[in-house]
């Protein structure tokens, strides 16, 4: 593990004199150069009209509303898809739509997106219009089948388009060619939110709300869903996404979130008043995702839709049980995957540049998580496969920052026509299908493609820190300053620091967490609680070690109403 400090050059930066010097240094190292880039007000967000296709989509929705046509929301089976589906259902209902329902294809029966098979199922409810959320940009055949059946389709998606686009009545996706929207990083729920904002604006111009004698909906009431889906989908937190997530967090902290969100927080043991973005990603997101991985994401969507707190709590408990099952399944798959990797090489120097893993009893709903865990451990792209139908394998891939995984799969597909049945995704994650007989050939082709794209240095795991904190900065004031300076997340990482400490105490808590009391080497009378999660219990506790160099995050731990600073240890030398 290499440890390096983020470079900082404050020349040319235009920060307020009132901004703490520590934050100036942290922001600059993340590409922030002026105070305007720190703005998180909704009024500073770009206008919806800048997104290609949004005018046509909004116009078609106005027609559907005026004629009270039947609308079907076609979602995806993850947290982004669940929040997108719930957002569409709630907002369209608040604008006067009376015939709105949702459908999410079961991943085990229908696969991903608007396939021709799921269109046939959707047609049984006779929709006039299908709106895809968090999917659809690659559903050429599915949209074609809907058109054959006389069902129009609006595609809202954020995944990268292929060469051919579906023949939809409108496509709303900031990643489509020629779109002038200033970010390409919106999650699916962010795209849906922008379309709904555009629709409300058009209805306002038409005086729809006045004519119907109904209140114009406040779109900010659903920003808790936008924040949850955005963080859970691990999209880059650029300024626009940071603004959406910040505003959603503010609503949750103030107690103005959906009953389902409140119930998920309660089940996860998270207090709303001090919630941070990481809690959405590590506590709420997995519980929603578990439904789509093991069963039916409709359970998660219903949790987000219900207005009944008791029903929300009941559904949140069911989601938590599924998440526990998912953890058990994943743990077994991890053990098997690590054994496979051990057989491939002695160490990371002899390990292939990419790993392709398969076991015939692996769960296709969990292979994405497995790929992520193995990628984190060995710092190289990973594809994990599980059995599908008709001799197919379903693969899920995760990448490292130096490799655009969808582009890598595209290169393999171009060089080896017919090798991959289908694929799609974005820079850090992608899904694919191929014939089981093609696994060995794919593994060789993919590893060659990755090896030609990455250098040995790219395959070295690096911990990048924000330097050292002085002992006098290890206090509640600094911890609160850092917490309020977020939201932190993908490509806008939470600050981490390095420093030399004396180990005062060390012991195991839970199954494999190392609880410590540390003191700065330069100030041994200042003792601070610290915890290191998921350690190797064969190596720790180690009472022969009295001094260490830690990489850590400065956190606030609340226990029985008492708040204390705590170091969240990421690495120890």
Which domain CATH number covers 146?
3.90.1640.30
Q: What is the pLDDT, as a whole number, of residue 559?
A: 82
CA distance 42 to 519: 42
pLDDT over threshold 70, residue 414: yes
What is the DSSP pairing of strand 355-358 with strand 170-172? unpaired
Q: What is the pLDDT, as a whole number, of residue 105?
A: 80
| pLDDT, tens only, 444-462 | 999 999 999 999 999 999 9
Q: What is the pLDDT, as a whole number, of residue 295?
A: 85
**Are 284 and 235 members of one domain?**
yes
Of residues 346 and 442, the one with the higher pLDDT is 442
Q: Which DSSP string corresponds to 123-141? A: HTT--SEEEEES--TT-HH
Domain boundary among 271, 300, 318: 318
**Are 156 and 171 members of one domain?**
yes
**Are 450 and 506 members of one domain?**
no
pLDDT band, residue 283 (cuts 50/70/90): very high
Burial class (CB in 10 A: 0-12, 13-18, 19+), 59: middle
Q: What is the pLDDT, as a whole number, of residue 348?
A: 65
**Are 353 and 283 members of one domain?**
no
| pLDDT, tens only, 364-387 | 999 999 999 999 999 999 999 999
- For the segment 75-93, the average pLDDT, to the nearest whole number, is 96
What is the residue range of 502's domain?
A: 2-31+463-572
CA distance 218 to 239: 22
Q: What token pair was written down for 512?
A: 């494999």
pLDDT band, residue 390 (cuts 50/70/90): confident
Domain count, the chain: 3
Whether 159 maps to a domain, the answer reads: yes
**Are 367 and 491 members of one domain?**
no
Whether 338 maps to a domain, the answer reads: no
- For the segment 427-443, the average pLDDT, to the nearest whole number, is 93
**Are 89 and 223 members of one domain?**
yes
Phi and psi angles of residue 211, each rounded to the nearest 5 degrees, phi first? -65, -35
Whether 335 maps to a domain, the answer reads: no
Please tell me the least confidently modeled range out of 1-10, 226-235, 363-372, 469-478: 1-10
pLDDT over threshold 80, residue 349: no
**Are 525 and 551 members of one domain?**
yes
Element housing 240 (H / E): helix 239-253
- For the segment 125-130, the average pLDDT, to the nearest whole number, is 97
Inter-residue contact 280 to 232 (CB < 8 Å): yes
Whether 337 maps to a domain, the answer reads: no
Q: Considering only CA atoms, which of 101, 92, 113 is closest in space to residue 72?
A: 101
**Are 284 and 404 members of one domain?**
no
Whether 353 maps to a domain, the answer reads: yes
pLDDT over threshold 80, residue 346: no
pLDDT over threshold 80, residue 110: no
Q: What token pair was written down for 73?
A: 């929301």
Instruction: Look at the block and give the residue holding tokens 């709903």.
Output: 365
Please tell me the least confidently modeled range out of 28-32, 294-298, 525-529: 294-298
Please tell me the least confidently modeled range out of 232-246, 339-353, 462-476: 339-353
Q: How many CB atoms neighbour CB 508 within 10 A?
A: 13
Domain boundary among 428, 459, 490: 459
Whether 380 maps to a domain, the answer reads: yes
Q: What is the pLDDT, as a whole number, of residue 539?
A: 92
Q: How many CB atoms neighbour CB 101 within 10 A?
A: 12
Q: What is the pLDDT, as a whole number, of residue 361?
A: 95
Q: What is the pLDDT, as a whole number, of residue 560?
A: 80
Give percent above pLDDT 70 in the chain: 99
Whether 307 maps to a domain, the answer reads: yes
pLDDT band, residue 109 (cuts 50/70/90): confident
Q: What token pair was written down for 374?
A: 């193995």
**Are 73 and 146 members of one domain?**
yes
**Are 262 and 232 members of one domain?**
yes
Q: What is the CATH number of the domain that holds 558?
A: 2.40.50.460
Reply yes or no: is the peptide bond before residue 487 cis, omega within 30 of 0.
yes
Q: What is the CATH number of the domain that holds 352?
A: 3.10.310.30
Average pLDDT, the chain: 94
According to DSSP, the residues that pair with 424 across neighbouring strands are 431
| pLDDT, tens only, 143-183 | 999 999 999 999 999 998 988 999 999 999 999 999 999 99
**Are 88 and 235 members of one domain?**
yes
Q: What is the pLDDT, as a whole number, of residue 428?
A: 86
Q: What token pair was written down for 492?
A: 């806008």
pLDDT over threshold 80, residue 231: yes
CA distance 87 to 217: 12
Q: What is the pLDDT, as a whole number, of residue 73?
A: 98
Q: What is the pLDDT, as a whole number, of residue 545?
A: 94
**Are 509 and 521 members of one domain?**
yes
| pLDDT, tens only, 524-545 | 999 999 999 989 898 999 999 9
Whether 333 maps to a domain, the answer reads: no
pTM of the entire predicted model: 0.93
- For the segment 408-415, the average pLDDT, to the nearest whole number, is 96
Of residues 106 and 487, the one with the higher pLDDT is 487
pLDDT over threshold 70, residue 297: yes
Domain boundary among 459, 484, 500: 459
pLDDT over threshold 90, residue 276: yes
**Quick one: how many helices (H) and strands (E) in the chain?**
18, 17
Q: What token pair was written down for 305?
A: 């839709």
């Amino acid at each position: 593990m290499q440890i390096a400090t983020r470079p900082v050059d404050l020349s040319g930066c235009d920060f307020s004199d009132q901004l703490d010097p520590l934050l100036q240094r942290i922001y600059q190292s993340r590409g922030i150069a002026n105070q305007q880039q720190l703005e998180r007000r909704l009024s500073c967000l770009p206008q919806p009209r800048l997104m290609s296709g949004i005018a046509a989509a909004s116009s078609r929705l106005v027609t559907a509303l005026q004629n009270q046509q039947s609308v079907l929301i076609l979602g995806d089976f993850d947290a982004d898809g669940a929040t997108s589906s719930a957002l569409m259902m709630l907002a369209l209902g608040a604008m006067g739509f009376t015939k709105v329902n949702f459908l999410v294809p079961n991943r085990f029966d229908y696969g991903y997106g608007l396939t021709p098979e799921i269109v046939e199922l959707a047609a049984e409810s006779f929709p006039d219009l299908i709106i895809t959320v968090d999917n659809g940009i690659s559903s050429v055949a599915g949209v074609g089948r809907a058109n054959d059946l006389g069902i129009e389709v609006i595609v809202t998606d954020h995944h990268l388009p292929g060469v051919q686009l579906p023949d939809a009545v409108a496509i709303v996706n900031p990643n489509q060619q020629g779109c002038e929207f200033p970010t390409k990083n919106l999650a699916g729920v962010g795209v849906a939110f922008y379309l709904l904002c555009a629709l409300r604006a058009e209805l306002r111009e038409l005086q729809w709300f006045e004519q119907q004698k109904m209140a114009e909906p406040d779109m900010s009431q659903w920003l808790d869903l936008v924040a949850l889906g955005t963080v859970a989908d691990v999209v880059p937190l650029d300024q626009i996404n940071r603004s959406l997530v910040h505003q959603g967090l503010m609503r949750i902290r103030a107690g103005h979130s959906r009953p389902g969100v409140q119930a998920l927080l309660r089940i996860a043991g998270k207090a709303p008043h001090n919630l941070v973005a990481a809690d959405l990603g590590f506590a709420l997101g997995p519980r929603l995702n578990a439904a789509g991985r093991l069963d039916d994401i409709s359970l998660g969507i219903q949790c987000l839709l219900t207005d009944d707190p008791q029903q929300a709590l009941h559904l949140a408990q069911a989601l938590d049980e599924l998440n526990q099952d998912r953890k058990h399944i994943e743990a077994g798959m991890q053990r098997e995957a690590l054994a496979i990797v051990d057989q491939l090489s002695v160490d990371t120097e002899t390990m292939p540049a990419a790993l392709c893993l398969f076991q015939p009893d692996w769960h296709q709903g969990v292979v994405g998580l497995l790929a992520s865990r193995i990628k984190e451990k060995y710092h190289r792209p990973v594809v994990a496969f599980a059995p599908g139908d008709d001799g197919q394998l379903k693969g899920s891939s995760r990448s490292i920052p130096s490799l655009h995984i969808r582009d890598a799969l595209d290169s393999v597909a171009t060089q080896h026509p017919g090798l991959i049945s289908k694929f799609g995704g974005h820079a850090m994650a992608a899904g694919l299908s191929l014939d089981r007989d093609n696994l060995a050939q794919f593994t060789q082709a993919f590893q060659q493609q990755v090896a030609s794209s990455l250098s040995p240095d790219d395959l070295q795991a690096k911990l990048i820190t924000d330097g050292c904190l002085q002992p006098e900065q290890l206090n509640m004031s600094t911890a609160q300053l850092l917490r309020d300076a977020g939201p932190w997340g993908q490509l806008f990482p939470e600050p981490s620091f390095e420093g030399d400490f004396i180990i005062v105490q060390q012991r195991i808590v839970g199954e494999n967490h190392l609880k410590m009391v540390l003191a700065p080497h330069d100030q041994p009378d200042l003792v601070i609680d610290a915890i290191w999660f998921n350690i190797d219990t064969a190596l720790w506790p180690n009472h022969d070690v009295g001094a260490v160099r830690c990489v850590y995050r400065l956190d606030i731990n609340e226990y029985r109403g008492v708040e204390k600073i705590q170091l969240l240890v990421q690495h120890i030398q």
